[in-house]
Amino acid sequence: MFAAIRRIKLKPGMVEEYTKLVKAGAVPVMKKMDGFKAFYVMVSADNTVTSLSLFTNKEVAESSTQTLMPWIKENLGPLLSSLPEAIDGEVVISEGQ
């Protein structure tokens, strides 16, 4: 399994708008990607949003950031207080129920 992690700092009060836009725009794009497994989003108290996308395909995990960054900048730009950070890599431990 492979993961793409994105970290975004939102302007205060923008979490609800971020959630609405991502559900309507980015999630459908990811679901169409080969090997898409899951998408999770965590919001911390300081309005930092961390998202985790999981894929079975390494190349798609790596390219998901290239695919989504233009969408993020175009659609989420007004909500951001800093540029997004992105990393991707292999999941080496996976525990769950």
Residue 95: pLDDT above 80?
yes
The rounded distance, in Å, linking the Cα atoms of 10 and 70 is 17
Q: Summarize pLDDT for 36-77 with one digit per residue, the tens.
A: 999 999 999 999 999 999 999 999 998 998 888 889 889 999
Within a domain: 37: yes
Q: Which domain holds residue 79?
A: 2-90
How many domains does the chain contain in total? 1
**Global pTM?**
0.89
Closest CA to 48 of 12, 17, 23: 12
The reply to whether 21 falls in a domain is yes
Percent of the residues in the chain that have a pLDDT greater than 70, as a whole number: 100
Residue 76 lies in a domain: yes
pLDDT at 96: 81
